[in-house]
Structure 1
Amino acid sequence: MIVTKNWLNEWIDLTDVSTELLLKTLNSIGLEVDRHDAMRVADGVVIGYVEACEKHPDADKLNVCQVNVGKEVRQIVCGASNVRAGIHIALATVGAELPGGLKIKEAKLRGVESHGMICSSKEIGLPAMGEGIMILDSSIGELVVGKNLNEYSVFNDDIIEIELTANRGDCLSIHGIARDLRAALARPLREKNVKDDQEGRLGIGRILQLQHTDTFSTDLLFGAVEVKELSIPLIISIRLAVIEETYATAVDALLKYATHSTGVILRAYPFEKFGDLENKGIITLGNDENGYAALYGKEKVAVIGVSQEKEAHFSADDGLAVIEASYIAPDVISQKMGEKKVPSCPHYYRTSRGSEPSIEMGIRYAAELFEKYSSSQVYGGNIELTTTYEPRIISMVEAEFESFIGLKIDKTRITQIFKNLGLDIGKPKGSTFAISVPKFRHDIVNKQDIIEEIVRIIGIDNIPSKPLSFAEANQMSTDLAEYKKTRLYRHRAAQSGFYESVHFVFNERIQVEKYGFVCTEASKELLNPITATFDTLRPTLLVGLLNSASANVKVNQKKIALFETGMVFDADRHETKRIGFIVSGAMESEKIANSGKPSVIDFAAFTKLIADVAGSFELVSHMPDHSLAHPYVCAKVLINGVEAGELFRLHPQVEEEFDLAQTFMCELKMDALPYGLIEAKPYSKYQASFRDLSVLISKEVSYESIKAVINKHASAQVRRFYPVDRYVSENLGDQMSLTLRFVLQSDEKTLEEEDINAAMEWILSGLREELGAGLR
């Protein structure tokens, strides 16, 4: 956003404010100054009046001018094509030094003496403004022949470029910057409330009407101007050049100037686009083919706040023009552009960030310019369509200001700041403020935004620094404990020879459902997947590990041992943390110890690897509910009697599908894995005894049944037991021989033989009675 100090001075009194203070103030209130240039015309460049202009006798492209500089008339040779008698010009007198080090001297051009130089804008240090010399007019002030140009404010100015954040669209105008300075400098704003004098004017309602059949989230105001003898005044030309704004016609220049001044979006259309004077012109507001609010006459002329059709621009030098002022809330237009992007014009930059909603001020300002700088006739009244604005109310208690800022601010001072910022505030009820956010401040949505406004106006440097004091809270939160637990098991897995694999929390729905896993419900599914292969939240870690194992096989890896920890999601998107494992192919790498032929992973070896990570657990028979597992080599994992997950061999068909050798997988719930302080337990100082018990029992009896019977009949001296041998043969028929080893120990004495025999007899009796087992 580019402004000049004197342009700002038209909206707020800055006569006694130095440029240095102005720049400092802008920075302090969050309007960061990105560039500052002093625009100063050199001494000796004065106003001259061309009294006569004749062709040079010896040069077709040169003119000999007689220029009045007040005290005398000087002869100047000039080559500009637009020089002529009867105009005021900028004359660099002899002795003046122009930008670039050019010093003006007496000269002879083709034998004709020249006492100075008639200058273009660029030659005296201003931005370029077309070809030829700069022609002065009364828009810069009263033209006094012989007066130094730098005595006029427009030639003695400061150009300031401000870097605005995207949410400060309210400052994309001279008016908006001045409004913020009003609060910082505590000075009144010179509001441009131009009175609409209706006397003697033809009403716009006689020539134009607006039609619409629906309500739209937009404010519109239409005026009409009979454009006559409009030329661009010098002050507008200079300021448009300073802000690097280009234009095609005088009307275009005037409206761009008014928009930059007021912040109101202004456009001009030829009246004939809507009808003719004999039959009243009709503007129709409706939705276009893309769903945007658009204006139609005989055809579509514009999309409100976005673009204007090329053929709908007012491009004539005179004629009847329809002037439109518009406002659309930035969130409305940005959301619409996000849904379906359409080509836009430079005005969209303002509307998408928040243009000025006081559209009546904008159209009155433009009308005044038409009447001031031309013979144009402005039609009386306006045609309008506005929406009801319900201001956002933010309530704050007085104590909250001190709590947020760290400084007690007087209630009167707070009220004055709000008033100067344009925020309406009712009479405080006790210590409570009800702050009404105006339409132009769409960026203020909560208490923090209100505090930010107070701080930037008071000035961060005016808030005393205080030492930071705090009492550190207990950091041993459940999140920290969960993190440490996960880290512990990750380290255990790495120590046990597993490599960590990390995947996205997304899977391909088709692949996951293929193997019988339940994915997220359709109503709760991802709205915008990363890719087609990541279109659902993963219900298991196993599919990702399986894909990684397959990728390793494709690069000729013989030993694959991977693990992963992460979140999985059920059909309702509830998440739980799991740890998954996969081992495929060889148990170890090829080396001398195994003669280059390592053994292949089997169920027992895989179970031991999992036990190295998860600790002690039990396996019980289990029928999986998915098709990844081998139906006959699958077990449920119990830790401390609680189901923790499953362990299985990969189904041979799946192994073949993924080009894997014999493969085993396991997935455990992190919540079921033990973690925490391990308490020491007393142990017996007496010697333990070992006894083996071999029984003949039916093959159909599961180990879980045998274990349950033993636990039921075991005495306190039986500390633990486990199977050590299983033997079947044709001689035994439908029975098997099972050898169990028992560890017996007492806390009170060394067990004698008769104590051991009694304990074993009780167990054998229970097996015989309940399962029909016999001693072998």
Structure 2
Amino acid sequence: MIVTRSWLNEWIDLSSVTTEDLAKKLNSIGLEVDRIHSYNVAKKIIVGRVLECEKHPDADKLNICKVDIGTSVRQIVCGASNVRAGLDVAVATIGACMPSGVVIKPVKLRGVESEGMICSATEIGLEDAQEGILELDSSIGEYELGQEVCTIDTLNDELIEIELTANRGDCLSIRGVARDLSAAYDRPLIETMINEDEDKRVGIGRILSLSHETQLDVNLRYRAVDVKELTLPLIIKLRLAQLEESRGTDIESLMLYVTHSSGVILRAYDYGFFSTEGESIAKIELKKDENSYASIYSNARDEKASTIGIIQEDASKAKDDESTILIEASYIPPDIISKKMQESKIDSGPMYYRTSRGSEPELNQGLDFCLNIIESYSSSLVYGGTIELGDSYEDKIITVTKKEIDEIIGAQIDRVRITKILRNLGFDTNKSSQDNFVITVPRFRHDITHKQDIVEEIVRLVGIDNIPSKPLVFAESSKLQDDYFAYKKRTIYRHRAAQSGFFENVAFVFDEKKVLKEYGFETIHEELELINPIVNTLDTLRPTLMTGLLKAASHNVKNGKNSIKLFEVGSVFSPTRDESIKMAFMFSGDKEKDSLLNAGKPHSVNFAHFSQKISDIIGEFELKEHESKHKLSHTYQCASVIQNGEIIGELFRVHPSVEESYDLYATYLCELDFTKLSYGLKTAKASSKYQASIRDLSIIMPKSMKYEEVKSVIEKNATKELVRFYPVDRYSDKALGKNMSLSIRFVLQSYEKTLEEEDITSTMDTILKALSEELKVGLR
């Protein structure tokens, strides 16, 4: 992308910025400067005006000119074909050193004195803007006769070539680069608007109509001009020469110039291509061609004029004569045209490069810029109004918080500064709140799709060098996920169970529906039931692990085992097929092997022994009276298991009738919700360095009173010195009648001192008083 300082100055005021600073700024905002070239016209080359021009008497190709150089009139012999009276020219006066190294001296050419040289553009170090000598005009700015050309900024310019990445199609124009500089320098863009006096203009609708198909994803604007005496000004010729581009006609060259300036894709059509003899209105038809590209056709000829955004047919191009032309501004989304080109490739014109990377969608500003040039440098008549077609477009909105911006950048950027940068770049932030940016992306920034793109825009405008650098920290992230911890927890509890003498049972997740219903378990709803069970005895998903353990124990008994300890961890299913993990334990028969210690007659497992085994595996828990919903449990030996204040399962002796049906001895079962079992880091607690004291109390209480009532009163009235308490003995006889004696052991300890007898007595008296008042019980 080629820009010059004077060209940029037409869109943004950079008069106070040096070329060196400008290049640094372009680099800092991501527009990499590839090269800089300065045009420096030598001293003693001045502005002159040709007063007279006559043929040389002895040379057909030479002319004798009288040239006013402000301070005097000089005779200069010139061989340029375009020299003529009234022309403002660049004159190298005596003593001027030309770029070629030649020093201008007085000479005689075919016997005629010549005091200086009327110069072409290349002779003074400029690009080859036109054939023959340089014809100066007002487009280069104000100047005076005799003024040195080196003082005219537009002729002593700096050319800057920028290397753009493929996504920055918005900067493929002078206006696009100026827009980025506007945000970088916080200076406004200079916009061009046509001075339309609609009352004095003939409406375009009188000479042109547009018909179209739907869903073509294109934006079009048409203006009409009766071209008269159009001559391209020097500044346009010079800048096109700097671009090293040219077109066949002045009209086409003007379209190229405006496109490079504004970013809007412009084409000029011959009005006669669309008109029919005898009809006053020309008709343009927009439809898909044989390759499904959106194309412009002449309704009169049924002939293609152009393929939108890709190529224009030669027959439809405007000619350099005084006639009516149609100027078309177009926009087509780059992703659509690029994808279409991949699907069915066709020949493309020079404008396709801009279209495929994203041209300027603000079509009117390109048209206005073009028409201002035409009206300024010709006697042309511009028709009023436009013929236009717009596509449907939904704004692209990106939301990002201030915190996210700072975290991605790694530095705190002031919110006001962020807002100003985004607005200067053309983003709409009006819907934003204090901590949340709601950003509407302008259509010309099709490359902005994510919040990271927004942050990148902020960073490049702030300047990467202005963001404090921080040392790079390498920290390995934890690779332990929830799956690992679930596996680890399961492994730990399986190992604990094995260490406590239990053997693991592994069974199918299927069970027999008939048996489950017989024991009162809810089974899978009929509509969710298995369609093709393996066998009839495994015809449903199991709701419990306990029936599987009973079957396994039954098999072990039939194989001569007298003591059976089994556990299983596995999935169970609710009636709606919701899966959960349970852990179940079973202890059946003798609690120990026969040995000398038990005289060969081991005792059967009992409730207390089984409870202790479960505690060895899962840790401390409490038991509370419980009534099962199923029929496996013993009516009077069933409790819910409470850990950390939450019920996590049940523990019970198997009902004698169930034991008998499975040929089992005394059998105990416990099933727990595995997800509720304690698992995590061990928390260290402070312990007292002072000696603990133990006291026993034996209280008389009704046999019908539950221990929970006694426990609740003690907990409510306990002092801070009471560490724990627990029942140790229960006694009853005929003398006590309906009462019984319950012995409770109290452990007392202080963190501050060794407890004295008065402290212990005070605590025990407090508890006895509360028991007496609330439960009417006292010492035995």
TM-score normalised per structure 2 = 0.60
For 2:398 and 2:453, the matched residues in 1 are separated by: 10
The question of 1:142 aligning with 2:116 is answered: no
The question of 1:327 aligning with 2:331 is answered: yes
For 2:470 and 2:4, the matched residues in 1 are separated by: 38
For 1:374 and 1:429, the matched residues in 2 are separated by: 51
Give 2:238's aligned amino acid. I
The question of 1:200 aligning with 2:200 is answered: yes
Which residue of 2 is the match for residue 12 of structure 1? 12
Which residue of 2 is the match for residue 395 of structure 1? 399
Give 1:215's aligned amino acid. Q
For 2:320 and 2:59, the matched residues in 1 are separated by: 36
For 2:98 and 2:452, the matched residues in 1 are separated by: 52
Q: CA deviation at 1:424?
A: 0.5
For 2:236 and 2:149, the matched residues in 1 are separated by: 17
Which residue of 2 is the match for residue 679 of structure 1? none
For 1:308 and 1:425, the matched residues in 2 are separated by: 39
- Assess if the C-alpha contact under 8 Å between 1:137 and 1:143 holds in 2: no
- Assess if the C-alpha contact under 8 Å between 2:431 and 2:439 holds in 1: no
Aligned residues: CA RMSD: 1.5
Partner secondary structure for residue 251 of structure 1: helix
- Assess if the C-alpha contact under 8 Å between 1:224 and 1:321 holds in 2: yes
Q: CA deviation at 1:466?
A: 0.5
The question of 1:473 aligning with 2:474 is answered: no
Which residue of 1 is the match for residue 100 of structure 2? 100
Partner secondary structure for residue 209 of structure 2: strand
The question of 1:281 aligning with 2:282 is answered: yes
For 1:212 and 1:154, the matched residues in 2 are separated by: 44
Partner secondary structure for residue 23 of structure 2: helix
- Assess if the C-alpha contact under 8 Å between 2:173 and 2:263 holds in 1: yes
Give 2:184's aligned amino acid. A
For 1:430 and 1:15, the matched residues in 2 are separated by: 37
Give 2:286's aligned amino acid. L
- Identify which range, 101-110 or 413-422, moves more after superposition: 101-110
Q: CA deviation at 1:471?
A: 2.0
The question of 1:376 aligning with 2:380 is answered: yes
Q: CA deviation at 1:360?
A: 0.9
The structure 2 residue matched to 1:448, chosen from 446, 452, 462, is 452
1:394-543 → structure 2 map (5 Å cutoff): 394-473=398-477
1:283-362 → structure 2 map (5 Å cutoff): 283-297=284-298, 298=301, 299-362=303-366
Q: CA deviation at 1:475?
A: 7.2
Give 1:19's aligned amino acid. T
Give 1:159's aligned amino acid. L
Q: CA deviation at 1:430?
A: 3.7
- Assess if the C-alpha contact under 8 Å between 1:167 and 1:443 holds in 2: yes
The question of 1:231 aligning with 2:231 is answered: yes
Give 2:128's aligned amino acid. A
- Assess if the C-alpha contact under 8 Å between 1:192 and 1:365 holds in 2: yes
Partner secondary structure for residue 154 of structure 1: coil
Partner secondary structure for residue 356 of structure 2: helix
- Assess if the C-alpha contact under 8 Å between 1:249 and 1:317 holds in 2: no
1:492-641 → structure 2 map (5 Å cutoff): none
Which residue of 1 is the match for residue 78 of structure 2? 78
Q: CA deviation at 1:426?
A: 2.3
For 1:281 and 1:45, the matched residues in 2 are separated by: 51
For 1:403 and 1:205, the matched residues in 2 are separated by: 56
Which residue of 1 is the match for residue 222 of structure 2? 222
For 2:133 and 2:400, the matched residues in 1 are separated by: 60
Give 1:369's aligned amino acid. I
- Assess if the C-alpha contact under 8 Å between 1:196 and 1:364 holds in 2: no
Q: CA deviation at 1:143?
A: 4.2
For 1:236 and 1:13, the matched residues in 2 are separated by: 20
Which residue of 1 is the match for residue 152 of structure 2? 152
For 1:109 and 1:477, the matched residues in 2 are separated by: 94
For 2:141 and 2:474, the matched residues in 1 are separated by: 62
Equivalent pairs counted in the alignment come to 478
Which residue of 1 is the match for residue 166 of structure 2? 166
After superposition, the C-alpha distances for 1:698-742 in whole angstroms (9 at most, x for unaligned) are xxxxxxxxxxxxxxxxxxxxxxxxxxxxxxxxxxxxxxxxxxxxx
Give 1:259's aligned amino acid. T
Q: CA deviation at 1:41?
A: 1.2
Which residue of 2 is the match for residue 54 of structure 1? 54
After superposition, the C-alpha distances for 1:363-393 in whole angstroms (9 at most, x for unaligned) are 1111111111000000000000001321111
- Assess if the C-alpha contact under 8 Å between 2:11 and 2:190 holds in 1: yes
Q: CA deviation at 1:477?
A: 11
Which residue of 2 is the match for residue 764 of structure 1? none
For 1:225 and 1:394, the matched residues in 2 are separated by: 42
Which residue of 1 is the match for residue 124 of structure 2? 124
- Assess if the C-alpha contact under 8 Å between 2:273 and 2:316 holds in 1: yes
Q: CA deviation at 1:278?
A: 3.5
Partner secondary structure for residue 473 of structure 2: coil
- Assess if the C-alpha contact under 8 Å between 1:225 and 1:321 holds in 2: yes
For 1:133 and 1:92, the matched residues in 2 are separated by: 12
For 2:396 and 2:480, the matched residues in 1 are separated by: 41
After superposition, the C-alpha distances for 1:657-677 in whole angstroms (9 at most, x for unaligned) are xxxxxxxxxxxxxxxxxxxxx
Identity %: 56
Which residue of 2 is the match for residue 27 of structure 1? 27
- Assess if the C-alpha contact under 8 Å between 1:250 and 1:317 holds in 2: no
Q: CA deviation at 1:464?
A: 0.7
- Assess if the C-alpha contact under 8 Å between 2:194 and 2:371 holds in 1: no
Partner secondary structure for residue 228 of structure 1: coil
Partner secondary structure for residue 415 of structure 1: helix
Give 2:287's aligned amino acid. G
Give 1:407's aligned amino acid. A
For 2:431 and 2:399, the matched residues in 1 are separated by: 12
Partner secondary structure for residue 153 of structure 1: coil
Structure showing greater radius of gyration is 2
Partner secondary structure for residue 129 of structure 2: coil
Partner secondary structure for residue 102 of structure 1: coil
Give 1:46's aligned amino acid. I
For 2:481 and 2:423, the matched residues in 1 are separated by: 46
After superposition, the C-alpha distances for 1:159-186 in whole angstroms (9 at most, x for unaligned) are 0010101110000001000000011011
Q: CA deviation at 1:82?
A: 1.4
Task: Return closer, same or farther for 1:296/1:108 CA change in 2, 3 Å cut-off.
Answer: same
Partner secondary structure for residue 60 of structure 1: strand
1:35-54 → structure 2 map (5 Å cutoff): 35-54=35-54
Q: CA deviation at 1:193?
A: 2.9
Structure 1 unaligned segments of length 5 or more: list them: 479-776
Partner secondary structure for residue 25 of structure 2: helix
Structure 2 unaligned segments of length 5 or more: list them: 483-780
For 2:378 and 2:195, the matched residues in 1 are separated by: 18
Which residue of 2 is the match for residue 747 of structure 1? none
Give 2:469's aligned amino acid. S
Task: Return closer, same or farther for 1:105/1:473 CA change in 2, 3 Å cut-off.
Answer: same
Q: CA deviation at 1:354?
A: 0.1
After superposition, the C-alpha distances for 1:62-95 in whole angstroms (9 at most, x for unaligned) are 1111111011110111111111222111100111
After superposition, the C-alpha distances for 1:470-501 in whole angstroms (9 at most, x for unaligned) are 322367999xxxxxxxxxxxxxxxxxxxxxxx
Partner secondary structure for residue 220 of structure 1: strand
